[in-house]
Amino acid sequence: MTGTALLFLVLGLGLIGWIAGRARAAVFVRSAKGGPRGTVNSLPFYHGWFVAICAIVPALVFMFIWQSISPALVTNMVLSAPAAADLPQDGFARAAILSEARAIAQGFQTAAFQDASEKLVPLYKNALSYYKWIGVAATLLLLFAGGAFAFTRIKPDFRARSKVERVVMFGLLVASLIAILTTLGIFASLIFESWRFFSMVSPFEFLFGTEWNPKSTVTPGADNGYGAIPLFWGTIFIGAIIAMIVAIPLGLMSAIFLTQYASATVRKWMKPILEILAGVPTVVYGYFAALTVAPAVRDFAVMLGVSNAASDNALAAGIVMGVMIIPLVSSMSDDSIAAVPNAMRDGSLAMGATKSETIKQVLLPAALPGVVGGVLLAVSRAIGETMIVVMAAGYTANLTANPFATITTVTVQIVALLTGDQDFGSPHTLAAFALGLALFVTTFFLNYVALRVVKKYREAYE
Amino acid sequence: MSNAIMDPTPTDWNGQIMQKRIARRYAAERRFKAMGFVAVALSTLFLAFLLFTMLGQGLRGFQRTEIAVDFDFPALTSGATAASISGPNADAALNSMDVPGIVELAVSQQYGDLSEGLLTAGAAGNVRQMLMDNPSLVTAKQQLWLPVDSRLDVAFKRSGEPEAEKTVAVLAQKDALRTGFNWTFLTGADATDPSAVGIWAAFKGSLMTMAITLMLAFPIGVLAALYLEEYAAKNRLTDMIEVSINNLAAVPSIIFGLLGLAVFLTLFGMPRSSALVGGLTLALMTMPVIVIAGRNAVKSVPPSIREAALGIGASPVQVVFHHVLPLALPGILTGTIIGMARALGETAPLLMIGMRAFIPSAPQGFTDATTALPVQIYLWSDEVNQGFVEKTSAAIIVLLIFLLGMNALAIYLRNRFETRW
């Protein structure tokens, strides 16, 4: 029996419990004296839920726990068998044989590459089915015990509704806690893997080194080519400089035009079009940048007399990324301009200032904090953007301010380091996590500051 | 009033200086407005240019070049009958017939020395399928249209290698080439030969990934939104939850990929590159979007409704689940669709969890190794073969159609069901 089948069985039995509980409570309601419901505390439907919850929840929790501990139990059982005694003592080779034998036993793989694992397959099959049936039996036992317990509790004066509602409230709380759990998971995995990385490569080299040419085997103390300065520079150059040179003027002016000048009809049509720009997947932008924009930029550079222009130049990636960011800048500016009190605008217009003078000298200065917050969010979005730079910018680290040269970024290198078959503990993989940590901390900081600025500014006018 | 005489600021509105000044100010006004217009126009033009480029290249990806091949089936198959290749033993009968050999023979008889590398690798499979579908073909001479090799395909549609161009010119003179609709592209899977690729496998992978994402992110997101808006006490825990959700909504997607790699793949040992892990990773990314949209929708339900329900004796849970949630549902659904559309177009986290392998068949289950539509686009964009350019654009068209459809549905829902209180 597979996990899915067991899951459906559990849910099906829960449904039967629900029907049984409801039917039993309905009998009370019908036989009760005095009034339509008599002295019955809760509707039959809540009794049904009570039975179903008591039956399903413990069984599901057990299934989940069993899923995570049974592999270890299976491995123990296989290792304690006499046939496993002649396995190599070396941890890595041993783990490879075990995992191969397991994959064959589970049917994921058909043939063994190592003879040693072939021998272990029947052992694994035995152990797997042994523990699987224990798990199935225990799950069903829990389910029936829970259901029976709940069923005997059903009495006319049993407060089924408040019990069910308590479970519902608990479920709501658990759902909200998943957000915290995810944040902690990100923090923990990034910090743990980065710590492993920094035990091999010194943090000093990583943060201040200017040569990025990561070696797959590292020697402590020596220069291993893990200097991330060129990556940080590339990320800032493409995401925070080129992209912003495109996005800030276009986004801000679009917002001004749409809110202050355009007629209602134009606004109605143009705003969704700008939103489409934000909805185009980044892989499409990346393909467009690599296929169309980058060759055009290179031709332009050659026309200017820049002979060493690369086809995967930083400018193309930056321009396309800037276009992607336009809607974000535009909608943030839109919001903050709209939040400026009308009295300020009307006052300026009444004094005889033209519209553009009012915008430049009254609205924009008043809306500036909101616009700055929007730009910070846009920068955070741009430096975390992956697909455009992976497809259009290059893989060679280059510490240069020449927009026609190949420049690589943090996200490109994360993708590059995790490409190809490498085992999880290699310095390449771990370096990706260290870069991820740097990216996470930077974007977290930018988002935090941006949200604070925007919030504070909104409060000033409300 | 000596001050007025001393002041150089002109006060006469009809005076020349003032008129000049006003003209200058109005010119500045017009310039500013024009700048705004240019900004909007540039953004729109860029979008139009992008869509136009994709359409221009991609539409060719839905077409394929076919070549007429004459099959003298009675001679080639030494007298197979319609009955012998139909019924329950059709598979075995066709296998023993050696269809690839027959195709090769027929092509070389007709096209002589041009026949080398004329047809795509899957052409024999096409012939086999035609015979399966219509066994009576085998009884007579037939002219069948078969897809040509990718080099010739490219050369026929636009311009390719000189050698392929020459072959195409010869064939076109014989009137042996035509353009047909490429069904394989909609039903097939990834392949090494661009004329044999299809997006069905990637599309199915995307659908399965999205199903997992929706199943997890929607209930969790809605429940969390209800908790935060309706029940949460103002305390440290609630603040922490709010900060986490706002932060998660802005974390770069690649970080979620790293989380999936470290936790789901390495810690839990889930199957690499599967729809299950992809869906889990994208669910974590989509959940905050749904929570934020859900909170706004719940917030917009007026308090009078809650008070009325409480007043007639509903419990707090009944108030929320019987009254607030149904009223907030259109808003929540709109936010969910927008979040799902974002997840559907997401590539980077899927690359992190190993979805970059060559998978030549559609996934059969949630734990099978699969690919997804945006990942397929990325993989094809990396191919050197010229034939993949139009396939990449065609896949992009399919992806964009789905995203536009989802967004249109969200807008429709918003307009149709949104209540202004």
Per the rule left: phi > 0, alpha: psi between -120 and 50, beta: everything else, B365 is beta
Tell me the sheet residues that pair with B69. Answer: B144
Instruction: Compute the mean pLDDT over every residue in chain B, rounded to the nearest whole number.
Output: 86
- Are A42 and A158 contacting, i.e. CB atoms less than 8 angstroms apart? yes
**A382 to chain B nearest CA, in Å?**
9
Q: Which residues pair with B70 in a beta bridge?
A: B143
Take residue B133 and report the two structure tokens written for it.
């579908």
Looking at the complex, report in whole angstroms how far the Cα of residue B96 sits from the nearest Cα belonging to chain A: 27
Question: Which residue would you say has higher pLDDT here, B120 or B1?
Answer: B120
Other CB atoms within 10 A of residue A269 CB: 11
A21/A44 Cα distance (integer angstroms): 7
Provide ipTM, 2 decimals: 0.87
Distance from CA of residue A136 to its chain's centroid? 33
Could you give the CA distance from residue A385 to residue A390 in angstroms, rounded to a whole number?
9
What one-character DSSP code corresponds to residue B69? E
Measured CA to CA, the distance from residue A194 to residue A433 in angstroms comes to: 6
Pick from A46, A99, A166, A172 the residue to mutate for testing the B interface (most B CBs within 10 Å): A172
Residue A452 distance to chain B (closest CA, Å): 12
Q: What is the per-residue pLDDT for A421?
A: 59
* Amino acid (one-letter) located at B36: G
pLDDT above 70 as % of chain B: 96
Nearest to A179 among B35, B224, B315 (CB): B224
CA A295 – CA A312 distance, rounded (Å): 8
pLDDT of A410: 93
Spatial neighbors of B19 by CB under 8 A, at least 6 apart, are none
**If you measure CA to CA, which chain B residue comes closest to A103?**
B271
- List, in sequence order, the alpha helices (H) in A339-426: 342-350, 355-358, 364-384, 387-392, 410-417
Asked if B341 has any chain A CB less than 8 Å from its own CB, the reply is yes
Q: Is A438 helix (H, G, I), strand (E, B) or coil?
A: helix
Comparing C-alpha atoms, which of A233, A234, A188, A224 is closest to residue A204? A224
d(CA B105, CA B100): 9
Q: How far apart are CA B233 and CA B191, in angstroms?
A: 56
CB-based contacts of A374, cutoff 8 Å, min separation 6? A328, A329, A331, A332, A333, A335, A336, A450, A454
Residue A48 to residues A140, B223, B358, Cα–Cα distance (Å):
19, 22, 49
Return left, alpha or beta for B193; rule: phi > 0 is left, psi -120 to 50 is alpha, else beta.
beta
SS3 assignment for A255-268? HHHHHHHCCHHHHH
Write the single-letter amino acid at A79.
L
**Which residues in chain A have Cβ-Cβ distances shorter than 8 Å to B316?**
165
pLDDT bin (cut points 50, 70, 90) of residue B1 is: very low
What is the rounded distance in angstroms from the CA atom of residue B264 to the CA atom of residue B257?
A: 10
pLDDT tens digit string along B261-271? Answer: 999 888 887 88
Maximal C-alpha separation, chain B = 120
Could you give the CA distance from residue B318 to residue A393 in angstroms, rounded to a whole number?
Answer: 55
Residue whose tokens read 């003027």: A249
Q: In chain B, positions 243-262, which contact chain A (CB-CB < 8 Å)? A: 244-248, 250-256, 258-259, 261-262
Strand pairing report for B63-72 and B177-181: antiparallel
**Phi/psi class of residue A38: alpha, beta or left (left: φ > 0; alpha: ψ in -120 to 50)?**
left
Distance from CA of A4 to the nearest CA of B (A): 11
3-state secondary structure of B148: strand
Question: Given this model, what pLDDT does residue B7 score?
Answer: 55
d(CA B208, CA B206): 5
8 A C-beta contact, residue B336 and residue B170: no
Q: CB A452: neighbour CB atoms within 10 A?
A: 12
Distance from the Cα of A285 to chain B's closest Cα (Å) equals 8
Closest in A282, A285, A451 to B246, CB measured: A451
Any A CB within 8 A of B212 CB: no
Which chain B residue has the Cα nearest residue A280?
Answer: B400
Alpha helices, DSSP H, located in B134-229: 150-157, 162-173, 183-187, 200-226
> CA–CA separation, A131 vs A115, rounded Å?
25
Q: Answer yes or no: do A182 and B284 touch at CB < 8 A.
A: yes
- Cross-chain residue pair B248–A182, CB shorter than 8 Å: yes
Token match 């945006």: residue? B374
Give strand pairing partners of B147: B66
Whether A326 sits inside 8 A of B341 (CB atoms) is: no
Residue B283: closest CA among chain A residues belongs to which residue? Answer: A182
Q: Which of A154-158, A297-301, B36-40, B380-384 has the highest mean pLDDT?
A: B36-40
User: Least CA distance to B238: which residue of chain A?
Assistant: A176
Structure tokens at B88: 């329950």
pLDDT score for B2: 46
Q: Which two tokens stand for residue B321?
A: 């689940």
Type of residue found at A181: L
Q: What is the pLDDT of residue B4?
A: 46
pLDDT > 90? residue B120? no
Query: Which residues, other chains included, contact B299 with Cβ-Cβ below 8 Å and sequence gap of 6+?
Result: B229
- Determine phi and psi for A416, rounding to 5 degrees: -65, -40
The tokens describing A268, both together, are 């109605």
Q: Tell me, what's the pLDDT at A274? A: 87
- Side chain identity, residue B355: M
CB A331 within 8 A of CB A339: no
H/E segment holding residue B178? strand B177-181
A-B CB pairs within 8 A amount to 244
The secondary structure of A191-249 as a DSSP string is HHHHHHHHTTS-HHHHHH---B---SS--TTS--SB--HHHHHHHIIIIIIIHHHHHHH
Task: Report, as ranges of residue numbers, the positions in chain A whose pLDDT lies below 70.
Answer: 1-2, 32-39, 86, 88-92, 108-112, 221, 420-423, 459, 462
Structure-block tokens of residue B75: 């001679």
The pLDDT of residue B181 is above 80: yes
Cα–Cα distance between A292 and A388 in angstroms, integer? 13
In the block, which residue shows the tokens 């995570």? A68
Q: Can you tell me the distance from the alpha carbon of B17 to that of B224, in angstroms, rounded to the nearest whole number? A: 66
Tokens in use for A354?
Answer: 């033209």
How close A152 comes to chain B (CA, Å)? 25
In a 13 Å sphere around the CA of B164, the CA atoms on its Cβ side amount to 19
Q: What gap in Å lies between CA A404 and CA A242, rounded to an integer?
A: 12
Min mean pLDDT across B72-76, B100-104, B194-198, B255-259 is at B72-76
Distance CA B315, CA B191 (A): 59
User: The pTM is what?
Assistant: 0.86
Q: How many CB atoms lie within 10 A of CB B340?
A: 22
Buried b (16+ CB within 10 A) or exposed e, A101-110: bbbbbeeeee
Q: Considering CB atoms only, which of B39, B247, B342 is closest to A183?
A: B247
Dist CA A165 CA B89 (whole Å): 61
Q: Are A227 and A205 in contact (CB under 8 A)?
A: yes
CA distance B401 to B415: 21
Residues 157-196 of B with CB under 8 A from A: none
Indicate the length of chain B as a whole number. Answer: 421
Q: How far does chain B reach from its first CA to its final CA, in angstroms?
A: 60
Contact flag B315-A190 (C-beta cutoff 8 Å)? no
